[in-house]
Amino acid sequence: MIRSMTGYGRAEAEVLGRWLTVEVKTVNHRFLNFNARLPGDLQRFEHQILGRVKERLQRGQVNLFAGWDAAGAECPPVVVNREAAQRAADLLQQVAHDVGIEAEVRLEHLLAFPAVTMPGGLAADAETLWAGVAAVVDQALQDLQAFREREGNDLARDMGERVDAIEAHVAEIDRLRPGVLEAYRERLARRVEELAREVPEGDLHARLAMEVALFADRSDISEEVVRLRSHIEKFRELLAAGGVVGRKLEFLLQEMNRETNTIGSKASDAEISRHVVDIKAELEKIREQVQNVE
């Protein structure tokens, strides 16, 4: 099935004593564009998270948020980085000396440095931490994909119905096509009769045949009708095949619009023109939908 580029996914789980929540939101974009908002202790995993995203998504603006929530989970142990604490103390003492003041470095000053303390589980094993984070990210992406597939199914159904309507208009145009030439022949014949007294009869019939032949050549839309039907069939095949087909559908819509415009410019018939207007209206609605297809 086709997939929409608009979607939302969410997952949460306990990772090393804390609850991790991951939310992913996507909207349409010409390419794959990724933006992540991660807590400080997870920023080192942004590249790996992007890799997970690329495995599942090909197009769209992807906004991923991850955050810790201690509620409902056991408070993890805290590890003090003594080397970082010593560096922080030395830095504070050096600053005090440089500005010429006497200041006592106390514990609360050191604890203000993020590198001095961190949850023990997170400090102990980065590989285990990533395994837990990756599982939550994967679950959120699966939830997102299910959402995008549901949206894609709705898009495919709507576009399929509109393609059916276009095909019905094309069939009517094809039915009206022979009558356009015959109507022109009759109009021209009446004009010829008005000029019958001024021009020899033999020349009139020759001129009539030539004008009808020229008009038939200029107004023949049979090739455009054939190509338009071929594009319609290909469009249906892509909808049925699914996958990443957004750009292919966009290209087909451009071709269908081009053939429709040519039919409108060639066919000098009010009824055919009405069908052309209806086809262009359906194509525009489909184009709006295709903009959101991955």
Q: How many CA atoms lie within 13 A of 143 on its CB side?
A: 16
Instruction: Give me the helices (H) in 13-125, please.
Output: 46-56, 82-99, 107-111, 120-124
Residues 6+ apart with CB under 8 A from 47: none
pLDDT exceeds cutoff 60 at 108: yes
CB atoms within 10 A of CB 128: 13
Residue 14 β-bridge partners: 19
User: Closest by alpha carbon to 31, among 3, 57, 1, 70?
Assistant: 57
pLDDT exceeds cutoff 50 at 76: yes
> What value, to the nearest 5°, has the Cα angle with vertex 200 and ends 198 and 201?
115
* Token duo for residue 227: 């190509």
pLDDT for residue 61: 97
The type of residue at 75 is C
Share of the chain above pLDDT 90, in %: 55
Average pLDDT over residues 30-52: 93
Q: Identify the helix (H) or strand (E) that includes residue 12.
A: strand 7-15
pLDDT for residue 251: 96
User: Closest by alpha carbon to 142, among 7, 240, 34?
Assistant: 7
pLDDT exceeds cutoff 50 at 73: no
pLDDT exceeds cutoff 70 at 121: no
Q: What is the pLDDT of residues 202-238, one digit of tens each?
A: 565 666 666 656 665 566 788 899 999 999 999 999 9
* Token duo for residue 279: 């086809």
DSSP code at position 34: E
The type of residue at 148 is R
Q: Identify the helix (H) or strand (E) that includes residue 24.
A: strand 18-27
Q: What is the pLDDT of residues 188-198, one digit of tens each?
A: 666 666 656 55
Residue keyed to tokens 């069908």: 275
User: Do 118 and 78 meet the contact criterion of CB atoms below 8 Å apart?
Assistant: yes
Q: What is the pLDDT of residues 147-182, one digit of tens each?
A: 999 999 999 999 999 999 999 999 999 998 877 767
Residue 42 β-bridge partners: none
User: Do 145 and 52 meet the contact criterion of CB atoms below 8 Å apart?
Assistant: no
